[in-house]
Amino acid sequence: MRRTLVFGGARSGKSAYAENLAAASSRDVIYVATAQAGDAEMTARIAHHRQRRSHCRWQTVEEPLALGQAIARWSRPDTLLLVDCLTVWLSNLLFAENGDFPEIGSIAPPAIFLEQREAFLSALEQAQGDVVLVSNEVGMGIVPKGAVSRWFVDEAGRLNQAVAARCEQVVWVAAGLPLVLKGER
């Protein structure tokens, strides 16, 4: 069993790289999609991802919140789970309660976030088959204005660190080019 984190900036080629890893494996692939089509822009992004993998015979599982449960259910020794994407999943959790957020000050995460994050990290550690996880690096630019944006960037960074610590391989993708940070190619 091998866990791989593939991360990078927006439009870096990380999803395509992860899909190539999955396609090159000798395993059945289960694509775990975390996105929800809440608006026209996200609908277009989802359609783009679907089109890119239309030639693949992969099973798709849509799971916007209970990612740990999906990993526990679908991970088997003969499968490769491809999870795309952790930061979309994080956003789903952090904003699940549709609350108002202050412009300044600290923000308390919703209970679902703490519960599902722990369930996900536990399921990742216990996965029975290979898992490839896609995530965004969002903390390399300017510190965002507004408490909610800083909160999201901080939680995404913490999540990426926690996942990388549990993975045998970590790959940074920039301009479509992979750089192995941990593990072997």
- For the record, the structure tokens of 74 come out as 């679908």
What residues are labeled active site? 49
Three-class SS of residue 182?
strand
Three-class SS of residue 142?
coil
More confident residue, 34 or 102: 34
Alpha carbon distance 178, 91 (integer Å): 25
pLDDT for position 143:
81
| Residue 97 reports pLDDT greater than 90 | no
pLDDT tens column, 112-162: 999 999 999 999 999 999 999 999 999 888 888 889 999 999 999 999 999
CATH class of the domain defined by 3-182? alpha beta
| Residue 1 reports pLDDT greater than 90 | no
pLDDT for position 72:
98
More confident residue, 93 or 50: 93
Average pLDDT, the chain: 92
Pairing assessment for the beta strands 28-33 and 59-62 based on DSSP bridges? parallel
Contact 65, 120 (CB under 8 A): no
Percent of residues, the chain, with pLDDT higher than 90? 70
pLDDT for position 54:
63
Pairing assessment for the beta strands 79-84 and 130-136 based on DSSP bridges? parallel
Three-class SS of residue 12?
coil
| Residue 93 reports pLDDT greater than 70 | yes
Instruction: Please report, for the chain, the start and end positions of each structural domain, with discontinuous segments joined by +.
Output: 3-182
Alpha carbon distance 163, 135 (integer Å): 10
| Mean predicted confidence (pLDDT) in 20-40 | 91
| Residue 89 reports pLDDT greater than 80 | yes
More confident residue, 177 or 185: 177
Q: Cβ neighbours of residue 28 under 8 Å, at least 6 residues apart?
A: 59, 78, 79, 80
pLDDT tens column, 51-88: 776 677 899 999 999 999 999 999 999 999 999 999 99
Q: Length of the chain in residues, anyone?
A: 185
| Residue 185 reports pLDDT greater than 80 | no
Tokens 């999540």 correspond to 159
pLDDT for position 103:
79
